Amino acid sequence: MEPRKSFWKKALLWLTALFFYLPIVYIIVFSFNDSRSLTKFSGFSLRWYEKMFSDSSMMESVVYTIVIAVLATIISTIAGTLAAIGLSRSRRMLRSVVEQVNNLPVMNPEIVTAIGLLMFFSALGIDKGFLTLLLAHIMFCTPYVMLSVSPKLRSLDPNLADAALDLGATPLQALTKVIVPQIMPGIVSGALIAFTMSFDDFIISYFVTGNGVNNISIMVYTMSKRVNPSINALSTLVIAIITVVLLIVNIAPILKEKRRKKV
Amino acid sequence: MRQFRSMIYPYVVWLAIMVVVPMLLILLYAFTKEGNSVTTFRFTLENFTRFFSDAVFLDVLKRSLIIAIVTTILCVLLGYPIAYAIASGPEKSRMFWILMITMPTWINMLVRTYAWVGILQDDGLLNKLFGLFGLEPVKMMYTTFAVVLGMVYNFIPFMILQIHASLAKMDKSLLEAASDLGANRWQSFLRVTLPLSLPGVLSGITLVFLPAVSSFFIPKLLGGGQYVLIGNVIETQFLTSGDWNFGSAISLIMAIIIMLSMYFTRKVDTDPSANGRSE
């Protein structure tokens, strides 16, 4: 490649990076601003963090967000993995129907899924709140787990599980000792997608929650109607949590690999 | 082979209850009136005639479609060169840039949209930058510009990743063959690269258009309370005015528009005459 051409490509890519990361850096910087202003940085202070940590409704929303995300991740990862294994062994008819229906929440605009669930919960007479929020999150996370586990199952030798059963393993042993270890990368990436989907969700949560149960996104949305620099602090907290989760998930396998090489 | 097959059945039941029933409820509500208690509803097309006979709603629909289309076009025009620049680099830089593009998508969309508020203010960062070049401050917050910018910002990663995926899959020897046969750079791009990357562009279009046409918090945060798109109308019907029948009908109209546009996009994709693939 001619150096001049490659210069323009590099310039374009760094400009893109600036476009993507400038707002994120901007909000982090202004979370440490001394004044209320969103445009003038008048000095470093932690007052908006103090305000955030002493605001019980903001702290509650952080707790709800994490609790819901952890529960939804655990449940949808287990359910999605089991369903994907079952699906890989079902008749083609059933498989294609399940795959189509499974894709509905993925392909539908979120707002359509959201109002469907809202009307469904109200038809059943379930009070909007923690339970409806959790059920909704499990509902939209599970298809993503299945989408990430299924390809791993397709490349798995089906005879392995049968061999284990022939050799006297119980079905549970065949499942936990033979199938699951081999599809583990798919399960882990499915769990990661589920966690971030749940942690970041706004639209569906906004429609199905109530009775004071809010997550961080809903908090940011309701607070954004007035100038409130605590939003910047809360946003920075969200960015920090997701960054830590991504780092752990990406670094853990590398460390594990290193340790294995040492042994 | 039969082992574990039964593990799918609980999930089938779950899907029927949590996915199919809510969708059926939207249909039921859209075609009924006074349906809040199941025993008293009656079937009607009133919700649809109300929508299509009201100029205000038609205007909102038109504006939503125009904004979604403009966003999609901008994402293609900006996303293609970016994806191309990534795909043409060496392996290591490609992985780095894919990571750079993917990472922001893991961060809460609402938070990233809100982050633009300070930048777009009258005395915000962008206007200060303009000031350095001696330009007058421009009003950007609460304009169509801000809404489109917010949408492009949120949705363009999907476009870049899709186009990059199809460019990366491309057999590089085809380009050598093209240049051996006397094509210049531009010709081999138009005749080889572009047609082969078209599937990526088309799936990118679907991934951008769908959230753009249904978005409601981007117009609210960056366009202000007066800025109403179809998603905002649905939100109002469900959370403020409580007219679920009318809200369901509007969602159904929106879903049908999206399905139609997806159908046509797919059709272009599979129609060999449309993208120069002759098989």
Which CATH number goes with the domain that contains B101? Answer: 1.10.3720.10
Round to whole Å and give the CA distance between A19 and A7: 18
Nearest-5° Cα angle at A181, A178 to A183: 105
- For B4-54, the pLDDT digits (tens) are 778 888 999 999 999 999 999 999 999 988 645 556 667 888 889 989 999
Of chain A, the end-to-end C-alpha distance in Å amounts to 44
B31 in reach of chain A (CB within 8 A): no
**Do residues B160 and B82 make contact, with C-beta atoms less than 8 angstroms apart?**
yes
Interface contact B89-A90, CB threshold 8 A: no
**Residues of A in Cβ contact (< 8 Å) with B89:** 9
pTM: 0.88
Round to whole Å and give the CA distance between B74 and A50: 41
Round to whole Å and give the CA distance between A69 and A34: 33
Q: Which fold has domain A56-216?
A: MetI-like fold (1.10.3720)
Round to whole Å and give the CA distance between B42 and B45: 10
What are the phi and psi torsion angles at A171 (to 5°)?
A: -55, -40
Of the listed ranges A70-74, A88-92, B64-68, B164-168, the one predicted with least confidence: A88-92
CB pairs under 8 A between A and B: 206
- State how far residue A7 is from chain B, nearest Cα, in angstroms: 10
In this predicted structure, the answer to whether residue B178 has a pLDDT above a threshold of 90 is no
**Do residues A21 and A13 make contact, with C-beta atoms less than 8 angstroms apart?**
no
In a domain, B199, yes or no: yes
Round to whole Å and give the CA distance between B96 and B216: 32
Domain extent for B196: 54-270
Instruction: Look up residue A174 and give its DSSP letter.
Output: I
Point out the residue among B85, B106, B251 whose CB comes nearest to the CB of A246. B106
Which chain A residue has the Cα nearest residue B6?
A86
In a domain, B22, yes or no: no
Closest CA to B248 of B38, B57, B27, B42: B27
In a domain, B9, yes or no: no
Number of domains in chain B: 1
Structural Rg of chain A based on CA atoms: 23
In a domain, B204, yes or no: yes
Q: Where are the domains of chain A?
A: 56-216
Point out the residue among A87, A158, A171 whose CB comes nearest to the CB of B1. A158
List the pLDDT tens digit at each of the 263 positions of chain A: 455 678 888 999 999 999 999 999 999 999 998 888 887 888 898 988 998 899 888 999 999 999 999 999 999 999 999 999 888 888 888 888 988 898 888 888 999 999 999 999 999 999 999 999 999 999 999 999 999 999 888 888 878 888 888 888 888 888 888 888 888 989 999 999 999 999 999 999 999 998 888 999 999 898 887 778 888 999 999 999 988 888 888 777 777 777 777 66
Single-letter amino acid, residue A232:
N
B contact test, residue of A7, A39, A134, A214 with most B CBs within 10 A: A39
For all residues of chain B together, what is the average pLDDT? 87
Round to whole Å and give the CA distance between A231 and A222: 10
Interface confidence, given as ipTM, is 0.86
